[in-house]
A and B are shown apart, each in its own frame.
Chain A
Amino acid sequence: MDVLLFGIPAVVAIIGAIAMLLSRNAVHSALYLLLNFAAISVLYLLLQAPFLFATQLIVYAGAIIVLFLFVVMLLGAERDEDTPHANPWQNRGALVGGVLLLVELCLLYVYNPGTIPVAVDMDNAFAAPAEVAKALFTTHLLPFEIASFVLLTALIGVVVLHQRRS
């Protein structure tokens, strides 16, 4: 049962990611990315992280994907990839590099299985939203304040970027 619960979202996430990579239309890519994010949010739920499940859906699926779709449709840049790369070796090099990286990760997985113990039982709610909030507002209060500052900076940056030059 656990394997099934993990397997279905995992397969959906991988399919969504590959479809995003291969889709020629940027709008379709954004929607496949949305599928991927939704599948990952289900995995968060399986990993006992209900707060991040909600955050993932609201921020990524709700805000970021909508922003992407908005910009894609605003620019009319759905199909802007007709010309080949300036560097003719880029596609082949990227594929070789990706395969090498995957092989390396698989080697780590094969040769080093003992160092990471199996996850223990998932019964206790160690990461209920209240616990996350406690950690956020006590131990990590300064980073939290800095995060709000980062968001404010981004906001001001966007406004300045789109200011009409006199």
Chain B
Amino acid sequence: MVSTLMYVALSAILFVIGILGVTLRKSALMVFMSVELMLNAANLTLVAFANQWKSVDAQVMVFFVITVAAAEVAVGLALLVMIFKRKKTTDIDLMNTLRG
């Protein structure tokens, strides 16, 4: 029997990798992907605890997280395409002005 702690530990490792991705990589696309990884790690924790307490509520929460992640990716990638059209780059270090 695999304890909930194993799932939480796996989720922690994935979350740390996501944080490293956000801080280490320079391409905005990679930062987005790392954010998705972190959202997934959080989802894994929620599902693990839902299984532990035999409660559906956390799974409903994960459903909402997936919804928000989908909306976030749609808007974020649209913004990224717009920025790329103007600046010809996805380097986040070069996106340092508020007016395009």
Contact = CB atoms under 8 A, between A and B. Distances in A.
Interface of A: 2-3, 5-6, 10, 13-14, 17-18, 20-21, 26, 29-30, 33, 36-37, 40, 43-44, 46-49, 51-52, 55-56, 59-60, 63-64, 67-68, 71-72, 74-75, 77, 80-81, 83, 85-87, 90-91, 93-95, 97-98, 101-102, 105, 109, 113, 116-122, 124, 126-127, 131-132, 134-136, 139-140, 143-144, 147, 150-151, 153-155, 157-158, 161-162
Contacts of B55: 126
B5 A116 contact: yes
B16 A118 contact: no
Given A17-B18, A49-B47, A119-B52, A127 B59 contact: yes
A117 to B, nearest CB: 7
Contacts of A36: 14, 37, 40
Interface of B: 1-10, 12-14, 16-21, 23-27, 29-30, 32-34, 36-37, 40, 43-44, 47-48, 50-52, 54-57, 59-60, 62-64, 66-75, 77-82, 84, 89-91, 93
B66 A161 contact: no
Query: Which label, helix, strand, loop or mixed, suits the secondary structure of the B interface?
Result: helix
Nearest to A98: B20
Contact of A157 (B30, B37, B52, B78): B78
Contacts of B71: 150-151, 153-154
A67 B33 CA distance: 11
A74 B70 CA distance: 19
A80 B27 contact: yes
By secondary structure, the A interface counts as: helix
Nearest to B10: A10
Contacts of B29: 26, 29, 68, 71-72, 75, 77
A147 B70 CA distance: 11
Contacts of B77: 67-68, 71
B1 A119 contact: yes
24 contacts: A10-B10, A17-B14, A17-B18, A21-B21, A36-B14, A36-B37, A37-B40, A40-B14, A49-B51, A51-B59, A59-B66, A68-B73, A68-B77, A81-B26, A85-B93, A93-B23, A109-B12, A126-B54, A126-B56, A132-B60, A135-B60, A139-B57, A140-B57, A157-B74
